Every structure is written in C-alpha cells, then in structure tokens.
Amino acid sequence: MSEIEIRRIREDEGDAVAALWDAMAVAIRDGGPLTERGRRNIGRMLSASAWHHAAFCLVAVDDGVIVGFANGRVDPGDGLLPSLAGEIEAVHVEPSHRHAGLGDRLARAAIAHLRERDVWTIRNLVCAGDHDAQRFWARLGFEPDMVCLSLYRDG
C-alpha cells in the first residue's frame, strides 16, 4: 500500500464516494443498499461538497483510488451560542484498508477542517448501542454530552 493522501473531494468524484456510502449503508446493522436514485442524489450532494462553503467531504486516496471518506458540515445553529458548530456525519474506510489507522486519520482531518473554519463544538451522532463507534470517538477526545430520544410514527 502506498502513502495515502487525504484531501477535499473533487467535483467529479461524487459518484465514487457514493459507491462507498452505499457499501457503508449495507454494512451497518439494519442498513441496506441505496436505491439507484438515492445513490445518484448522494453523489450529487457529495460533488457539491467540493466547493460548498458549509458542507465538506474529505477523501482518502490510495494509488488514485478513493478508499475512504469523512463528511460533515459547519452550522451556525440558532445563534444562541457565540460560535459556529460542526458535525462530522460519517467516516468510512473500505474493508481492505481498515486497521491501519486510516479512520483515525480521516476523523482527525475532518476535525482540523472544522477547526480551520473557527468551529468550537464538533458533534458526531452515534447510536446508543454502537459501543465501537462510541469508543472510536472517545479516543479522539469526544465525550457524551447529549441524549437524543426519538419518537417514531406507527405503521
């Protein structure tokens, strides 16, 4: 494996990252494959992250092939806090490139990207039962500070 570059996505790479997003969706518990339309829409959204002022997508590139990504956004919130907030929405690494610290590198790059934009608080939403993800983010300095409760519509 060569040295892996982490950089901002290019506008023509949205479909390649959407394919990784689809693999991520299939791999998670209770997940499943994206529809063709869903994959196309995510590809468009990710392509816009190349130039968008608030949304971002960072890619890990090994020998010209995208093998991982991290995406998120800067959010001014409701204006009650004196600073910008940020969210890292997803970090995903292809199985063949896991266990070499690439997920950590992508997450740290996303944190640095947000800090460069003067974000004070960075969040990542993790399912209550996903202890592996909770440990991953805790190793990076994240701490639990909120509880999200959801009410689902029947049927």
Structural domains of the chain ordered from first start? 5-139 (3.40.630.30)
Average of per-residue pLDDT values in the chain? 93
pTM value?
0.91
pLDDT per residue as tens digits for the range 47-66: 999 999 999 999 999 999 99
Q: Alpha carbon of 55 to those of 20, 75, 111, 114, 155: distances in Å? A: 18, 9, 13, 10, 33
Q: Which of 87, 149, 69 is nearest to 124 (CA)?
A: 87
